[in-house]
Amino acid sequence: MIPDLSSFHFILLFFTGLCAGFVDSIAGGGGLISLPVLLSVGLPPQMALGTNKLQGSFGTLSAAWNFIRTGIVKLDESIHGIVFTFMGAVLGAWSIQQIQAGFIRHIIPVMLLFVFFYTLFSKNLGRAAGRPRMGRNLFFMVFGLGLGFYDGFFGPGTGSFWTGALLILLGLDMTKASGTTRIMNFVSNIVALSVFIIGRNVLYSAGLTMAAGQIVGARIGSGMAIKRGAAFIRPIFLTVVFFTIVRLIYKNYF
């Protein structure tokens, strides 16, 4: 049943989108803010997920464009990642309709813990470009397919995995890793959104209201990330990863 939203609900959704867009454009994890609010206003779970993908797509597009516009990220350097992420997300979105995602829920918190502690104890990680441990084309093939599939299949923590992999394996600095992550997130979001639209699980009035806030928040957040760099992004990234782990453990075991 679709809830009857009041003016108060739409104001709440706008500012929720703004906050989620701000956080997501810097370190990912905006869904930790937006999805609970969508559920709290009475949307059924599937519709909340679809509506969340709609509003999130606007935020990731706004943030990605800001990183590209300022030259932090060059789109032609991300083409391989875009193609393989698209392919992976299509496979993931198709697979989730065929099988249950339950088994993967128990693996993801462990993997995120690795990203969290590696970043926490590697004090200089992301402060400057480092030595790549993997060829760029191979990296984007493996992680584009893998994380694209994961985002289409399940989703939570995708941005954190992208940023962590880009820092650790490609040796990008924190700002460029954040910008590249936003591009890949946008690609997989659009694929997942298409699946929800086909299934008629998107409430456009709520999604577009949040999208307006997302655009504003993402523009502000990405601008601050570009201006302030790793010292600003790193603590927010670690905080988002930590709360994502807590949320997944709570959801899985309690």
Q: Using one digit for the tens of pLDDT, what is the confidence trace for 4-43?
A: 899 999 999 999 999 999 999 998 888 888 988 998 999 9
User: Is residue 233 one of the residues assigned to a domain?
Assistant: yes
User: Is residue 1 one of the residues assigned to a domain?
Assistant: no
**Model-level pTM?**
0.87
The per-residue pLDDT for range 49-71, each reduced to its tens digit, is 889 999 999 999 999 999 999 99
Name the pLDDT band for 2 (thresholds 50, 70, 90).
confident
The total of other beta-carbon atoms located within 10 Å of residue 202's CB is: 21
User: Is residue 245 one of the residues assigned to a domain?
Assistant: yes
User: Is residue 50 one of the residues assigned to a domain?
Assistant: yes
User: Which of 74-78, 203-207, 233-237 is the most confident on average?
Assistant: 203-207
Give the residue numbers spanning the domain of 190. 7-253
Could you give the count of Cα atoms lying within 13 Å of 44 in the half-sphere of its Cβ? 9
The span from the CA of 161 to the CA of 181, in Å, is 9
For range 114-119, the mean pLDDT:
85
User: Is residue 39 one of the residues assigned to a domain?
Assistant: yes
Structure tokens at 2: 């679709």
Mean predicted lDDT score pLDDT of the chain: 89
Name the pLDDT band for 93 (thresholds 50, 70, 90).
confident
User: Is residue 225 one of the residues assigned to a domain?
Assistant: yes
Residue whose C-alpha is closest to residue 163's, from 216, 110, 107, 119: 119
CA angle 212-215-218, nearest 5°? 145
User: Is residue 2 one of the residues assigned to a domain?
Assistant: no
Cα-trace Rg, the chain: 17
Q: Which helix (H) or strand (E) holds 11?
A: helix 7-27
CB 174 within 8 A of CB 167: yes
**Three-state SS across 141-190?**
HHHHHHHHHHHHHCCCCHHHHHHHHHHHCCCCCHHHHHHHHHHHHHHHHH
Q: How many domains does the chain have?
A: 1
User: Is residue 227 one of the residues assigned to a domain?
Assistant: yes
Higher pLDDT, 169 or 109: 169
